[in-house]
A = this chain, B = another copy of it.
Amino acid sequence: MKLATLKNGTRDGMLVVVSRDLTTYADAREIAPTLQAALDNWDTVRSKLSALAAKVEEDRVGVSPFDEADCESPLPRAYQWADGSAYINHVELVRKARGAEVPESFYTDPLMYQGGSDGFLPPHGTIPLADEAWGCDMEGEIAVITGDVPMGVSAEEAGKYIRLVMLCNDVSLRGLIPGELAKGFGFFQSKPPTAFSPLAVTPDELGAAWSNYLVHHPLCVDYNGEPFGRAEAGQDATFSLAQLVAHAAKTRPLGAGTIIGSGTVSNKDPDGSPGRPVKDGGRGYSCIAEIRMIETINTGEASTPFMRVGDTVRVEMFDEDGASIFGSIDQTVVSA
C-alpha cells in the first residue's frame, strides 16, 4: 500500500491511503489519525490500512483526487532521522577530491549521522536559504521507516522491521561542512531540514525491485529541469538498508517511526571511473558535490556552482512501466 500525509493545518497532518497510480486517496483517519499513530500500532492497523488500500484500488470506497502538492512529508516531524552512507562511491569521490584515502573500515563499518527530525520540508515547496555562500546542495537518497527495533538486532533480522520506503532529499550546506566536521561532533548547522517523497510505500509495492533490502530502480534527479542523476539505487551499495538499521540499533533500540537513509545514491561508471554526467551518457550524480569533485579531479577546479535562489530540484523514481512510485520531491530554493 501507499500512504501519504495531507496538510490539514495541524503539525502532523492527516493520514490517507493513496491509489497505486497516485490519482485518488481515501481518508484513513478512522484507522489511525496520523502516520506516526499508525506506526505506533502497526500490528493492529496494518491489515486495516491494507484493506482500505484494496477498496481504493477496486473503487469500493469514497475517494478524492490526490495532489502531491497537498502533501506534507509522510512524517511531518519524526522522533528519529539517521542517515547512512551506503554508496561508498560518493564517499570515495569526496575524499579523492581532497586527496584523502578512504579508510578500510568504511567498507565494513557504515558511516551514519544523526539528523534533525523536528520538522521536515514538504515534498513540493521551498528550500529556505539564508545565505547562498553556505553552498546549498541536494542529496538524492532512499529512506526507510522502521517499527520498534530491538537493541543489538542482527543485519539478517533487521530487514523485517522496515515498514515503509520513501525517497529523500537530504539538503546539505556544503560550505558549513568542513568547519563543522573539523570540530569533531558531526553535522549540525550544515544539515537544514530534509525533504521526503509524498508517498511512503510498503516494500511489497516494489515487487521484484525490492531485493536484498535495496530498491533496484534508477533514482531520477533533475536539476533546473534537466536530467542530472540517474544512478541505479540497487547497484554499488556497500551496505543494504537492513545493515544500516542494524548499525543504528547496535547500542540502543530504535523507536517506531525511525527514518534511516541510504546516503547519496552514487554509481561508478561501468569502466570503473567515478562517473560521467547524464548528458555524456553517464548516470550522472545525485548531488552537486559529486560533479564538483569530478571537475576538481579532472581540471583542478570545480565549475558547477551550488544551488542558488530560484534553482529547482526534482527527485523521483519510476517502475518498469514508467509510473512514478513515490511521487516527486519538487523544490525551489528561496531566500529565507
A161 within 8 A of B: no
- Tally of this chain's copies: 2
Among B103, B114, B192, B247, point to the contact of A116 (Cβ < 8 A): B114
Residues of B within 8 A of A336 (CB): 151-152
Q: Are A185 and B77 in contact (CB under 8 A)?
A: no
Given A78-B79, A115-B114, A118-B255, A248:B188 Cβ within 8 A: yes
**What is the CB-to-nearest-CB distance from A268 to chain B, in angstroms, rounded to a whole number?**
22
Taking a contact as CB atoms under 8 Å apart, the answer to whether A119 and B253 are in contact is yes
CA separation between A176 and B106, bound complex, in Å? 16
Given contacts A130-B151, A192-B251, contact A184 B185 (CB under 8 A): no
A185 to B109, CA, bound (A): 12
Please, which residues of chain B bring their CB within 8 A of the CB of A186? 113-114, 184-187
Q: Does A286 contact B (CB under 8 A)?
A: no
| Residue in B closest to A41 when the chains form the complex, CB atoms | B11
Q: Which residues of B contact A105 (CB under 8 A)?
A: 183
**CA separation between A40 and B115, bound complex, in Å?**
21
- Chain B residues with Cβ under 8 A from A77's Cβ? 79, 255
Minimum CB–CB distance for A253 against chain B, Å: 6
A109, B189: Cα distance in complex, Å: 12
Counting CB contacts under 8 A, is A117 at the interface?
Answer: yes
Complex: how many Å from CA A248 to CA B255? 24
Q: Given that A40-B11, A186-B187 are known contacts, is A192 also in contact with B252, CB under 8 Å in the complex? A: yes
Task: Judge whether A52 is part of the interface by a CB distance below 8 angstroms.
Answer: no
A331 contacts B by Cβ under 8 Å: no
Contacts of A40 in B (CB 8 A): 11
Contact B189–A250 (Cβ < 8 Å): yes
> Is A128 on the interface with B (CB-CB < 8 A)?
yes
Q: What separation, in Å, do the CA atoms of A88 and B220 have in the docked complex?
A: 46
Q: At the interface, yes or no: A155 with Cβ under 8 Å from chain B?
A: no
Quick one: which of A282-311 are within 8 Å of B by CB?
none
Given contacts A111-B185, A152-B336, 20 further A-B contacts (CB under 8 A): A11-B255, A77-B79, A82-B116, A103-B183, A111-B184, A113-B114, A114-B191, A116-B252, A117-B117, A119-B252, A151-B336, A176-B251, A181-B184, A185-B187, A186-B186, A186-B187, A188-B248, A189-B252, A193-B252, A193-B253
Binding site for B on A (CB under 8 A): 11, 40, 77-80, 82, 103, 105-106, 109, 111-119, 128, 130, 134, 151-152, 173, 176, 181, 183-193, 247-248, 250-255, 257-258, 336
- What are 5 A-B interface contacts by the 8 Å CB criterion? A11-B255, A77-B255, A114-B191, A130-B251, A186-B186
